[in-house]
Chains A and B, each alone.
Chain A
Amino acid sequence: MDLSDKGKFGLNKDGDGDVDLKYQHQHQHQHQHQHQHRRRPYPPPSMSPPPSGISADWQRGLIPVTTTVTTTPWEHHPASTSENLGFPLNDDGSASSADNNGLIVKPVPGNWNHPPPGIGILSSGLSQFPADSAFIERAARFSYFGNGNFTSMLAPFDSSNPYLNSAGVALMAGQPPPPQRSEPPNIAREGGSKDLIASGQGGSNVGSPMNSEKDISAGDNRGDVEVSGSGREDNRSKGTAARKRKWNNNSKKEMEIDKSNEEHQNKEEENKSNLAINNKNSGKQAKEVLDPPKEDYIHVRARRGQATNSHSLAERVRREKISERMKFLQDLVPGCTKVTGKAVMLDEIINYVQSLQRQVEFLSMKLSAVDPQLDFNLGLLSKDMVQARASSSSVIGFQPDLVNSFQHPNTQGLMQLGNSGYGPPPDAFRRTINAQLTAINTFKETKHQMPNSLDEDLHNVLSQMGFGNNAPSLNIQESNDNKSCDDSFPM
């Protein structure tokens, strides 16, 4: 039996003792088919790639979970990711029953460490997919794509910002369901972390009907409540629901509590099966099943032994967001060791910013002192541009152009270039030329010797930069080199 086999596979791999197994039992034959199908691939007779192929799929991050018992699912992996944007989890494209839509393609992140036997598990319980943040984001998006209603909403949420997407998706997810959903989103918004709560809300609404009773109880107590939903949409929905349920429970919303009722769920399950199928994302289930420390968006799962309070969850997500950005900031600020804590790092950053500001001030003084007349002639401008480009790893394309322009000692050449650049030039290069041109024009009025000095300056610059008169390639190389040493700019 599949179920028994599943047991072998260790559906309960996750220490959560999730009910995947249970769900799988409950699932219809479809799931069983799926399970079988899933297990087959392990040494898939029809599937060309054996476990290695599967692992490849995993690495690719997509394991279509479809009911179809064909090799197509595996082969559809690459397509599924791209195609599934608007389509709920039916990445396989195999004809799946309406309710099954499928097996949602759940991207399996590369860090999926489960052995191939997990495939069966996968088939059975979508919840077992390891959670990859990027993938989860995608999965979340996919899950919400189920309904056609969502597609219209997809546009604003296509941004690369995962947080945005998650929030948007969460909100979206919360909306389509019946009135119950409407409340949670509102409530969520009232709360502080709307994306979290909204997602939780939406999820709870969706998932609650689907969730099976077992998850609920587990969810309350343990942070790791996995939506043990088996691979089927029920699982998905349940998984999502369980997840949401957990959230709901945490948020202590009335609706959530109601939803958590099994009976309630049962009733709504059928009603929302379609929704669930569409909404539930295999990825989500995967997330749930997996033991993710915490999803950064859409839903947050409390860690083991940690408070499952909605507030604490939201706070944790918030903190994670902040820490993520702090990491980025750390990279920017030189000399910020990882060892330092948040406070020390903050001080470092503040010191750095202040030092930068002081530097700007000092340099401006120097600039004003260097040239009391503030004679910013074109040569200086061009020199600065070139040097700034080189030192700050500026656009490569700029250099050759600049060099070429410099190749023409005549200001006329420059002027011609500048004239040509007077069109609608968004390029910095063109703008530079324009600036230079205007400078030239300005200074031409004042000093007639400008062009000569300009030429000299240009030549000087070129020689300084090591540019031959005929060596644009050198510039490129230099710029490349400069680019490589990016931020190691000696201050």
Chain B
Amino acid sequence: MQDMNAMQATHFLRLLSRLKPLMAPTLPISTSQQTKFILKSAYASMAYAAGPRRVWSRALVRRIRRNRRRPTMRIINKRRHVVRPRRRPAEGGSEELRKVIPGGDTILNGARLVEETSDYVQFLRTQVIIMKALVSSFSKGQHG
């Protein structure tokens, strides 16, 4: 668990630090863009720390990549469609949960869904902790 925190923090900071070199040369990016980037990097670090074994981490990565790149177009019947994830109809009384968890709609098994949820919650929590620490250290650094 602690190792995961460390990994998560590391990845997050790395991703964030990547922003700096990007930003420095160019004009200051709008706050919203910055925010989005930070958000993305936060989720990316989460997913990276979680590993590919988790459904939600894979879905997160897919989501992030999808935003960056154009949605892959596949030639179907000589027509180009944007491939959208197929919605699975399976529900075990946990429809809302599936909406919240990334990639949850692909999880059919209710038990598996709960497992993924708990894992996701853990990583989310550590991510929040990391970001809070970062914010506080930032503000302290500025004030101190």
Distance from B14 Cβ to chain A, minimum over Cβ atoms (Å): 5
CB nearest to A329 among chain B residues? B118
Among the listed stretches A165-173, A216-224, A383-391, which one makes contact with chain B, having 4 or more residues with CB under 8 Å of it?
A383-391
Within 8 A of A (CB), among B1-56: 1-3, 5-7, 9-10, 13-14, 16-17, 19-21, 23-24, 28, 31, 34-35, 37-39, 42-43
8 Å CB contact of A393 from B2, B43, B117:
B2
B137 touches A380 (CB 8 A): yes
What is the CA–CA distance of A353 and B144 in the complex, to the nearest angstrom?
34
Distance from A314 Cβ to chain B, minimum over Cβ atoms (Å): 13
A385 touches B35 (CB 8 A): no
Distance from A285 Cβ to chain B, minimum over Cβ atoms (Å): 28
B35 partner residues in chain A, CB cutoff 8 A: 361, 364-365, 368
Most buried by A among B13, B16, B96: B13
- Chain A interface SS verdict (over half): helix
B93 partner residues in chain A, CB cutoff 8 A: 342-343, 346
What is the CA–CA distance of A489 and B97 in the complex, to the nearest angstrom?
24
A346 touches B96 (CB 8 A): yes
Asked if A134 lies at the interface with its beta carbon under 8 angstroms from chain B, I say: no
8 Å CB contact of A349 from B31, B97, B128, B144:
B97
Distance from B87 Cβ to chain A, minimum over Cβ atoms (Å): 19
Asked if B68 lies at the interface with its beta carbon under 8 angstroms from chain A, I say: no
A435 partner residues in chain B, CB cutoff 8 A: 10, 13-14, 17
What is the CA–CA distance of A322 and B10 in the complex, to the nearest angstrom?
33
A354 touches B5 (CB 8 A): no
CB nearest to B23 among chain A residues? A374
What is the CA–CA distance of A392 and B125 in the complex, to the nearest angstrom?
10
Asked if B106 lies at the interface with its beta carbon under 8 angstroms from chain A, I say: no
A332 touches B20 (CB 8 A): no
A370 touches B138 (CB 8 A): yes
Distance from A320 Cβ to chain B, minimum over Cβ atoms (Å): 9
A354 partner residues in chain B, CB cutoff 8 A: 100
Asked if B67 lies at the interface with its beta carbon under 8 angstroms from chain A, I say: no
8 Å CB contact of B139 from A349, A370, A393:
A370
A325 touches B5 (CB 8 A): no
The contact size tier of chain B is 35 or more
Number of A-B contacts (CB under 8 A): 200
B131 touches A394 (CB 8 A): no
What is the CA–CA distance of A365 and B42 in the complex, to the nearest angstrom?
12
B16 touches A376 (CB 8 A): yes
B39 touches A326 (CB 8 A): no
B17 partner residues in chain A, CB cutoff 8 A: 376, 381, 435, 438-439, 442
A321 partner residues in chain B, CB cutoff 8 A: 111
A325 touches B118 (CB 8 A): yes
8 Å CB contact of A374 from B5, B19, B126:
B19
A370 touches B135 (CB 8 A): yes
Asked if A408 lies at the interface with its beta carbon under 8 angstroms from chain B, I say: no
A394 touches B5 (CB 8 A): yes
What is the CA–CA distance of A380 and B16 in the complex, to the nearest angstrom?
11
What is the CA–CA distance of A356 and B17 in the complex, to the nearest angstrom?
23
Within 8 A of B (CB), among A16-44: none
A363 touches B131 (CB 8 A): yes
What is the CA–CA distance of A389 and B1 in the complex, to the nearest angstrom?
11
Distance from B93 Cβ to chain A, minimum over Cβ atoms (Å): 8
A363 touches B13 (CB 8 A): no
Asked if B129 lies at the interface with its beta carbon under 8 angstroms from chain A, I say: yes
B39 touches A380 (CB 8 A): no
What is the CA–CA distance of A244 and B52 in the complex, to the nearest angstrom?
38
Q: Chain B residues in contact with chain A, CB under 8 A?
A: 1-3, 5-7, 9-10, 13-14, 16-17, 19-21, 23-24, 28, 31, 34-35, 37-39, 42-43, 92-94, 96-97, 100-101, 110-111, 114-115, 117-118, 120-122, 124-142, 144
3 closest A-B pairs (Cβ-Cβ)? A428-B6, A383-B137, A368-B34
Known contacts A322-B114, A464-B140; 4 additional CB pairs below 8 A are: A332-B118, A376-B17, A387-B136, A391-B132
